[in-house]
Structure 1
Amino acid sequence: MYKIKDFYIKNIYDIKGKKIGIVEDLYLDFFHEKIIGIKVASHKLFSKKNYIPMDMIIEIGKEIITLGIEQYDGLEFKKIKNMEVINTLGETEGVLEDIIIDARDYSIKGIIISSGIIDRLINGKRVLLIKECILGEKYILYRGKSKIKLKTMPHRLERQYGI
């Protein structure tokens, strides 16, 4: 599993070994629950090519190796980061911080939300399944009714309390 932050600032090379740029952001399709490509911050000043589709990526490791680069404009993660997540009762669940991505097919499995700095330190972050969320223009609607709550806890609390 990947998180969005695992991709940021990675160098991108073509199959000839030429540096194309670095990862600036990821393009996603929230409705189909998948990452569709990578937004490239190119070192060329006037280049309009800024997109690598996921099917053109050969390898993702310390660097990213790709077959080529194209032009594209779509939904970037940065546009929805820090978007408010509310439930069906209109109560705020938190804000979007990160996305959990399956390493095999780049599908989005869940979103990570938190409800503030103090709450994050005490309770950790919550993980919501993407299937239970609907992306709107102003907020993300969480329709989940599950009694199971997934959390990510700060590492020092896990060690300190043996959680």
Structure 2
Amino acid sequence: MKTPIRQMAFAGLCLLSATSAFAAEVTVHYVQPDKFADMPFEPWEREDVMKQLTEHFAKLGQRLPSDQTLTIDVLDIDLAGRVIPNTRSGRDLRIMKGEADWPHMRLRYSLQQGGNVVASGDADISDMAYMMHLNRYSDGDPLRFEKQMLDEWFEKTFLGKRR
């Protein structure tokens, strides 16, 4: 008789092997991040934002065939909302009103397969209506609007899906 833990482990291995058929190698470079339009002031917060975005690009790359390589140069980031200094907690607050504070990124990308460039270009992406449509990410995710914007760009650019 199989135990539930064994069954879950087996299901996890099956899922892992099924998703490994899709998983392009993704490399992300941040070009002069100290000059980005809008990033947190504290170095550890900046690093956290870049780490989360890098992980998100890698997650998106799982939807591409494993024989492809995606390279992304992040040229500029302007996060959703505006920063308001908060002296009480020591952490600045990011306030989002849905006005002229939408997320915006400039990227340069190259998708290769077998040493040949399949797609490349510059992308100037933004979501002016970022608070007007449903967001699949949790309210607790500080980059939920940026991730949603990147999802839409990725689907349109690499998967050919339109909203």
- TM bucket, shorter chain: under 0.3
TM-score, normalising length: structure 1 = 0.27
Structure 1 or 2: larger strand share? 1
Structure 1 or 2: larger helix share? 2
TM-score, normalising length: structure 2 = 0.27
